[in-house]
Structure 1
Amino acid sequence: MFDTDHTQRFMFDNTDVRGEMAALESSYAEVLARANYPLPVQQLLGEMLAAAALLSTTLKFEGLLVLQARSEGPLKLLMVECTDQQQVRGIARFEDGIADSADLRELMPQGVMAITIDPLKGKRYQGMVPLDNASLAASLSSYFASSEQLPTQFWLHADGRRARGLLLQALPKDKQRDDQERANTWEHLTTLADTLKAEELLSLDNSTLLHRLYHQEEVRLFDVQPVQFQCSCSRERSANALINLGEADALQLAAEHGGQIDIDCQFCNQRYSFDPADIRQLFNGGGTEEPQPTQH
C-alpha cells in the first residue's frame, strides 16, 4: 500500500510555489468494493478521494477534512473524509441509469460541495464550492481562485482502478517579492501542468511526471507520506447513538425490529448489533462490549 497509496510534496526552488501529488489504488479499491458504482461515479469518487488527500496536506491541524457534495441530479451524494493521518473513506448515493459518458454537470446539476475542516482543537470551518464546471478539478480551482485563500490549482483523474491528483499552490511572499514576477511564475508553472494528459497522470511515477512537466525547473521532491483506507466507525460510536435515544425507546426499537437493533456503517458495511441485554448493560454503566454468556 505504501508504494501505491501516498502523497508526495515538491517545491520549486527560488519561487514561492509548492506542489503535491496523490496516488491511491488500494484505498480506492477498498472504497469501491463497498457498492456497485457505475463507472462515472467510480471516477468522480476517485477524484474526490485524491482531492481530499491533497487538501489534507495543505492543512496544519489534527482532525478531519470532509468533502461532501449534494445535488438533485442522478448522483445525489458524494462524501469523502480524510484525517490528518491521511486515512480516507468515501461513499456515494446515486440513481440507476447513469450514462458512462456523464460528466460532473450531468451527474450533479446545480450541485454544491461543502469543504469542512473539523479540528480536534479550535473552531470548525466550512467553505462551499459550486459544482458548476465540467470537472471536480475545475470547480475546486475556481473556488480557490475566487476565495481569499492562497491560489491553488488541481488536476484530478481516476479510472476505477487508480486515482491520481496534482496540486500547485502559491505561497506567501518570500523568495519572490515582486508581484509581476510572482504572477508570471504562477502562470508558467500552471500552464505547463495543463499539458498533462489523463493517461500520464494515471500511469507515470512521480519523478517521471515531474521531469515530463518541469525538466527545466529546479524541483525538490520530498519523502512520500502513506495514505490508507480506514473507517472511523466503532461499536462505541453506534452505542452513543442509542444513548441519545434513551433506554426505553432503545428497548422498544429493538422489540420492533425482531429483538435487536442493527446499526450498519455506510462507509465500510460493518454491522453493530444490540439486543436487549446489550442495551440494558449500556444504560447501567456496563460499557459497550457485548455481554459474556452466563456460566452455570
Structure 2
Amino acid sequence: MTDTIPHDQTHRFTFNNTDIRGQIVTLSQSYRDVLLQQTLPSVLLPILGEFISAVALLSETLKFDGTLTLQVRGDGNVPLIMAEATNTGHIRGILRTNQALSPNNTVPSNDVFDTSSLRSLVGSGVLTLTVDPTNGQRYQGIVPLEGDHLGDCLAHYFEQSEQLPTRIWLFANDTHCGGLMLQSLPAQQIKDLDEREQLWSTSAQLAGTLNQEELFSLSHEQVLYRLFNEFECHFFPARDITFKCSCSRQRSENAIVSLGREEAFQVLNTQQKISIDCQFCGKHYAFKKADIQTIFGDSDAALH
C-alpha cells in the first residue's frame, strides 16, 4: 500500500445511460483513529472496520442532515457493535466483547471468537439502522441477520424495505477499511426488463471480482476503471471522512437529566461526583455537587 493514494474519502458514481448507481469508500487515518479508542483482540478489528465502512457508504446513499447509526446487539461473545456517521463526514464506532471473557480487564484471546459469520459473533440479536435528523422525526429500520456477513444483511434490507436490488462488498484489516455498493434504481433510462436485468447482473459480477489489495492500493478512479471499463462511469466529487466524536458536556448533562433528580443525587451522595466516560473517544466528564444542583435548577438544595 502506498501513502500517495488518497484515502478517507467516499465517491458516488453512476453508469451513464443505465439505472445503476454506486458508492465506493476507503478509510485509513480516520479508521485508525477509531481503533485508537478501542482495546480489542486483533481478530475483531476487521469486524468493526466493516461496520465503519458500511455506515460511511450508507451515509452518502441515504440523503439526510444528522446522524446515521448502524448497530447490532446480541447475547453472544460480541454483544454490541455500533458505528455512526454524520452527513458532514464524521465517523465513530465501538465494539464491545462479553465482560465474562475479560477478567481483570484483560483482552480476550483471538481464539474464543468465531468470525465465520456475524451471527456467530453476536448470537441472537437484532441489527438496526437509525437516521436521527437534525430537524425532523427519527427513523429506525430493523435489519434481519440474513446472510453470513454485514454486507449481505444490508443488501437484503434494501431489497425488502425499499425494493432496490442492492449489493455491498466490505473489506477491512487492522489499518484500512472500505467497501463498494451498487444499487439498481427504478426504470428511467432503460425500460426493457431483460436489458435491465442483464446490465445489473453484469455489473454485480464485475464488482464481485474486487479484492482487498486492489481497493486499498489503488485510487477510486483506478478501481472503478479496472472493474467497469466496459461501462461509461460518471464520477461525482469526493466527500472527506474523518474521525470525530459527537460527545459533549451538554450531552452528558442531558444523560444526567434522564436519570432524574432523585437518582442523580443518590449517586452523588455515594460517589461525591457523577462521572461519565465517552465509550467512543474516552473523554471524561465529571459533575460535582454544584454542577448537579445547577442542572436541576436547585442551587440552594441540600443533599439528603
For 1:75, what is the secondary structure of its paired residue? Answer: coil
Q: Is the 8 A contact 2:24 2:179 kept in 1?
A: yes
Question: Which runs of no fewer than 5 residues in structure 2 stay unpaired?
Answer: 99-107, 300-304
1:51 pairs with 2:57: no
- The alpha-carbon distance between structure 1 residues 186 and 201, as it changes in their structure 2 partners (threshold 3 A), is same
Alignment-derived partner of residue 66 in structure 1: 69
* CA shift for structure 1 position 204: 2.0
Alignment-derived partner of residue 17 in structure 2: 14
CA distance in 1: counterparts of 2:298 and 2:40, whole angstroms: 42
- The alpha-carbon distance between structure 1 residues 55 and 250, as it changes in their structure 2 partners (threshold 3 A), is same
Alignment-derived partner of residue 282 in structure 1: 295
Instruction: Tell me the TM-score normalized by structure 2.
Output: 0.87
Counterpart mapping for 1:103-142 below 5 A: 103-104=116-117, 105-142=119-156
Matched-pair identity in %: 42
* CA shift for structure 1 position 66: 0.9
Alignment-derived partner of residue 27 in structure 2: 24
Q: One-letter code of the match for 2:166?
A: T
CA distance in 2: counterparts of 1:209 and 1:179, whole angstroms: 28
Higher alpha-carbon deviation: 142-151 or 265-274: 142-151
- The alpha-carbon distance between structure 1 residues 243 and 12, as it changes in their structure 2 partners (threshold 3 A), is same
Alignment-derived partner of residue 102 in structure 1: 115
Counterpart mapping for 1:130-279 below 5 A: 130-257=144-271, 259-279=272-292
- The alpha-carbon distance between structure 1 residues 277 and 66, as it changes in their structure 2 partners (threshold 3 A), is same
CA distance in 2: counterparts of 1:119 and 1:187, whole angstroms: 35
* CA shift for structure 1 position 12: 0.5
CA distance in 2: counterparts of 1:58 and 1:72, whole angstroms: 30
RMSD (Å) for aligned C-alpha atoms? 2.1
Q: How many residues align?
A: 285
Question: Which runs of no fewer than 5 residues in structure 1 stay unpaired?
Answer: 287-296
Q: Is the 8 A contact 1:10 1:219 kept in 2?
A: yes
Higher alpha-carbon deviation: 247-256 or 165-174: 247-256
- The alpha-carbon distance between structure 1 residues 241 and 142, as it changes in their structure 2 partners (threshold 3 A), is closer
1:39 pairs with 2:30: no
* CA shift for structure 1 position 248: 4.9
- The alpha-carbon distance between structure 1 residues 144 and 283, as it changes in their structure 2 partners (threshold 3 A), is closer
Moved over 6 A (4+): none
Q: One-letter code of the match for 2:120?
A: E
For 1:81, what is the secondary structure of its paired residue? Answer: strand
Superimposed CA distance per residue, residues 183-240 of structure 1 (whole angstroms, 9 cap, x where no aligned partner): 1111110011111122222322211111110112111112110111111111011112
- The alpha-carbon distance between structure 1 residues 244 and 130, as it changes in their structure 2 partners (threshold 3 A), is closer
* CA shift for structure 1 position 174: 1.4
For 1:7, what is the secondary structure of its paired residue? Answer: strand
Instruction: Tell me the TM-score normalized by structure 1.
Output: 0.89
CA distance in 1: counterparts of 2:256 and 2:143, whole angstroms: 34
- The alpha-carbon distance between structure 1 residues 138 and 202, as it changes in their structure 2 partners (threshold 3 A), is farther
* CA shift for structure 1 position 285: 8.1
CA distance in 1: counterparts of 2:273 and 2:73, whole angstroms: 32
1:90 pairs with 2:93: yes
CA distance in 2: counterparts of 1:73 and 1:8, whole angstroms: 35
CA distance in 2: counterparts of 1:60 and 1:8, whole angstroms: 14
